[in-house]
Amino acid sequence: MAHSSSTSGIVSGRLDSDLLEQNFEDLHAPLSKHEALVASDRCYFCHDAPCMTACPTSIDIPLFIRQIATGTTDASAKTILSQNILGGMCARVCPTETLCEEACVREVAEGKPVEIGRLQRFATDNLMAKDIHPFERKASSGKKVAVIGAGPAGLACAHKLATLGHEITIYEAREKGGGLNEFGIAAYKSIDNFAQKELDWLLSIGGIKIEYGKGIGTNIKLDQIQSDYDATFIGMGLSGVNSLRCDGENLHNVDDAVSFISDLRQADSLSNVKVGRDVVVIGGGMTAVDAAVQSKLLGAQNVSLVYRRGKEDMSASVYEQELATSKGVRIIYNATPLEVTENGSSLDVKFGFTESIKSQLKQTGETFSLPANQVLKAIGQNLSNQSDELKIIDGKINVNDHGQTNISNIWAGGDCAIGGDDLTVTAVAQGRDAAVHINSQLMK
Amino acid sequence: MADLTSNFIGIKSPNPFWLASAPPTDKEYNVRRAFEAGWGGVVWKTLGSEGPPIVNVNGPRYGVVHGADRRVLGLNNIELITDRDLFKNLDEIKRVKKDYPDRAIIVSIMVPCEEDAWKTILPLVEETGADGIELNFGCPHGMAERGMGSAVGQVPEYVEMVTGWCKKYYSKPVIVKLTPNISDIRKPAAAAQAGGADAVSLINTISSIISVDLDVMAPNPTIDGKGTHGGYCGPAVKPIAMNMVAEIARNPETANLPISGIGGITSWRDAAEYMVLGCGNVQVCTAAMTYGFKIVQEMISGLSQWMDEKGYESTEEFVRQAVPNVTDWQYLNLNYVSKASINQDDCISCGRCYAACEDTSHQAISMTSDRKFSVIDAECVACNLCVEVCPVENCITMVQQEPGVIDPRTNKVVEEKHGDWTSHPNNPSVFAAE
């Protein structure tokens, strides 16, 4: 008998393959040429544009939009990619609703910002479809740089350094590059294997080599790398998952949301991805939303997203919360997990309601339980620190404004380092800026 | 890789985009900002004679014709030449030129139509080190009433005379700026050439009244209840300017006269259009006043991309390329037949093509009850109105009918050979000789 949303347990194929495909289509469909002309025409070409200031990579947004409007889409893509080499992925995943589009003066004027994200995708898609890589590598400098992690921070750093003529080796623990772009971003934000295509396109600059299956702490050592190379950039991300710190956390089917999303992304067919009938996601960030939404899109009958604080404290944007509820996810605010217990072949998760009293989160005393076949933890990731010498602050590698750690020839950026907002775009900015500084130090 | 370096009548600049003589080039502060933004050159706002400068109204000085979303389509100004002291201007020009040796600085001048006035001011301008001068024979308001500006530009003899003086008393290139408020632009252009001009620049502004304030009952901009005509510029005037540029470029008498194109240039494409019609470079004003100096970046990147796509390495390669294709109506091929075609996938069913054709043209578009629009070839004269009123670019296109097919409108075979009015049987002058 075919499965459906009401099939008990954790099973795959709850929805037929056509429906699954439809569910996981592009969240924001690409703009057609006509749509791009209409959308670009709305930009006022502001002076000292607020959108540009809001962009962590300072993309010259008014200029790239004007370049689309005047029919020079290649030039538009170059404008974007010069500041953000992963402009293609960022166009798909950036929370524009809290960055550039929130700052857009037309958001202020009419509540309808210019569609900056979709326009950025229009330009970059156009250039990448033509297989144009508009950057050149300077003559070889003779310097070698090691990059730990082929995620956005590492790739941005590597590309910038490659354009400046340096030789880069990226050590990537997984078997594929891209970092969270490949393993963590919701599938409907990055369809058609885009993360890999972008990676291949990025590497066409030359001068960058990636060694897969090489993770520091497992089969390579940081101090060895540090001494073998003229400089090292750590873009290792956060590979640890915060624990719930409640009983029952280690029960079967209490998993981390990041792994769930990663497995979904790597599945060869959505029909083979298993999901519970009742799914409980604990957390309040983008990962929690991505896990909850995708569970629902796979056909789970009941998906609850439970966050311990109030709606206004949730780090997932209002847009993302509304996306979740529009897909049928139930969001429960102000509830903290107390324990997970077995109930036959499934689980029960007991929560205690909370309230904020004088900025302290306190339990009210009232509790409730949710049945769950699957519990997904999405309460944050943490650094798997591999070095005794690196200074760590609040769980992240301490770096100065140039991305330099306390060790003079080691830089760091992305989720593993302080600063930034744990976004792809801030990782790119940090990687790029560290590269500029690395270059200045190497060429002294 | 496209190189935008421009050499216009011996004056070098890193790109062919100059700012025209106007408020954006009024003083040092503005000009420095312009150069920092990337403009290749500027024509300094028109200087007047030594002595008390002219005074401007205390505003308003501008009126605008707006398009959708308050897009600036046309701008009208009642501002005059510089209201700053001559020597202050000259000092600034000298200073800026020294700091920006690779950028062009041209000084625009308007002084009375007497040889002495020019003899006096030109050595002062020479001393600044500027790259050349531009003679302002164009202001249609304020100065014309005093016998300067367009009052000179409309009289070819004066144009030739003053140009001659400038060539006599000034060693560097002389550009003569033409007013469009004239019936035949070829005459003042030829006069400037006869006077020895190194180039002409056109157009200056067009006499206009932008709009009327219906409460005050006066033309805008109103000053204390009254208004006056002003000079119109911006995107709206580009077609008028381009026609005049083409007239000069294709006139055998002035075919070799370098031209600097001015009038509504807002993007790279506008600049390219002027240049292929005969301009060695272009001057911009309204677009800069509308958006700020940053717009030059789009002009630079856009022209570069186009040049790379077409394989042009320098701007000289495409200047004047369209001139041979500017012909007279009577030589257009009447045997060329096309028909409009509506792409049903792109059509959004607004029905504007139908409204235009059914009401005002040839009733060549059909409309079904479920709002599907298609062309009736038997009625279509290919006027192109539907194409241009359609809100979706390229939704409607003109498709050439191949020679040999029958045109359902005329029931005649589309002919391969060229046939124009000059040999058409309906043309009475064809048979007059017989």
ipTM of the complex: 0.91
CB nearest A72 (choices: B268, B292, B295): B268
Q: Is A67 on the interface with B (CB under 8 A)?
A: yes
DSSP 3-state assignment of A371?
A: strand
User: How do the domains of chain B map onto residue ranges?
Assistant: 6-325, 329-431
CB nearest A67 (choices: B291, B294, B302): B302
> How far B301 CA sits from the closest chain A CA (Å)?
6
Can B395 be counted among the known catalytic residues? no
Instruction: Tell me: cis bond preceding B60? Omega within 30 of 0 counts.
Output: yes
> How far B416 CA sits from the closest chain A CA (Å)?
34
Are the Cβ atoms of B69 and A41 closer than 8 angstroms?
Answer: yes
Residues of chain A with C-beta less than 8 angstroms from the C-beta of B294: 45, 47, 62-63
Centre a 10 Å sphere on the Cβ of residue A15 and count the other Cβ atoms it contains. 22
> How far B266 CA sits from the closest chain A CA (Å)?
10
Q: What is the mean pLDDT of each run of 10 residues along chain B (434 residues)?
A: 95 98 97 98 96 91 95 95 95 98 98 92 98 85 67 88 96 97 96 98 96 96 94 98 98 98 98 98 98 98 97 97 98 97 97 97 97 97 97 97 97 97 93 61
Are the Cβ atoms of A34 and B69 closer than 8 angstroms?
Answer: no
Q: Rounded mean pLDDT of A61-80?
A: 98
A72 → chain B, closest CA residue:
B302
Measured distance CA(B310)–CA(A120) in Å, rounded: 25
Q: Exactly one of B113, B139, B279, B390 is catalytic; which is it? A: B139
Task: Extract the tokens encoding A76.
Answer: 């538009």
Are the Cβ atoms of A78 and B301 closer than 8 angstroms?
Answer: yes
How would residue A66 be classed by pLDDT, with cut points 50, 70 and 90? very high
Task: Identify the pLDDT of residue B84.
Answer: 95
Residues of chain B with C-beta less than 8 angstroms from the C-beta of A33: 393
User: How do the domains of chain A map onto residue ranges?
Assistant: 33-129, 144-239+389-442, 241-378
Q: Are A33-129 and A241-378 the same fold in CATH?
A: no
Measured distance CA(B334)–CA(B407) in Å, rounded: 13
Task: Identify the pLDDT of residue A217.
Answer: 83
How would residue A358 be classed by pLDDT, with cut points 50, 70 and 90? confident
Q: Rounded mean pLDDT of A30-48?
A: 97
Q: How many Cβ pairs closer than 8 A exist between chain A and B?
A: 46
Class of the CATH domain delimited by B329-431? alpha beta
Q: Which residues contact A385 (CB under 8 A, 6 or more apart)?
A: A392, A397
CB nearest A70 (choices: B302, B346, B395): B302
Measured distance CA(A156)–CA(A235) in Å, rounded: 10
Are the Cβ atoms of B392 and A41 closer than 8 angstroms?
Answer: no
CATH number belonging to domain A241-378: 3.50.50.60
Task: Identify the pLDDT of residue B141.
Answer: 66
How would residue A359 be classed by pLDDT, with cut points 50, 70 and 90? confident
Which of A217, A260, A257 has the alpha carbon at shortest distance from A241? A257
CATH number belonging to domain A33-129: 1.10.1060.10
Q: Is A66 on the interface with B (CB under 8 A)?
A: yes
Measured distance CA(B230)–CA(B56) in Å, rounded: 13
Q: Which residues contact A109 (CB under 8 A, 6 or more apart)?
A: none
Task: Identify the pLDDT of residue B432.
Answer: 64
Q: Is B211 on the interface with A (CB under 8 A)?
A: no
Are the Cβ atoms of A34 and B304 closer than 8 angstroms?
Answer: no
B270 → chain A, closest CA residue:
A70
Task: Tell me which residue has tokens 């320098």.
Answer: B314
Are the Cβ atoms of A66 and B295 closer than 8 angstroms?
Answer: yes
Task: Identify the pLDDT of residue A20.
Answer: 95
Task: Identify the pLDDT of residue A325.
Answer: 97
> How far B305 CA sits from the closest chain A CA (Å)?
7
Q: Is B302 on the interface with A (CB under 8 A)?
A: yes
Q: Exposure of B345 by Cβ count < 10 A (0-12 exposed, 13-18 middle, 19+ buried)?
A: exposed
Q: The whole model's pTM is what? A: 0.93
**What does the pLDDT look like over A362-393, one tens digit per residue?**
999 999 999 999 999 999 999 988 788 999 99
**Topology given in CATH for the domain delimited by A144-239+389-442:** FAD/NAD(P)-binding domain (3.50.50)
Measured distance CA(B229)–CA(B243) in Å, rounded: 23
Q: Which CATH number fits domain B6-325: 3.10.20.30, 3.50.50.60, 3.40.50.300, 3.20.20.70?
A: 3.20.20.70
CB nearest B291 (choices: A34, A42, A45): A45
Task: Extract the tokens encoding A405.
Answer: 């750690």
Q: Is B243 on the interface with A (CB under 8 A)?
A: no
Q: Is A136 on the interface with B (CB under 8 A)?
A: no
Q: Is A33 on the interface with B (CB under 8 A)?
A: yes
Q: Is B305 on the interface with A (CB under 8 A)?
A: yes
Q: Is A368 on the interface with B (CB under 8 A)?
A: no
Task: Identify the pLDDT of residue B417.
Answer: 97
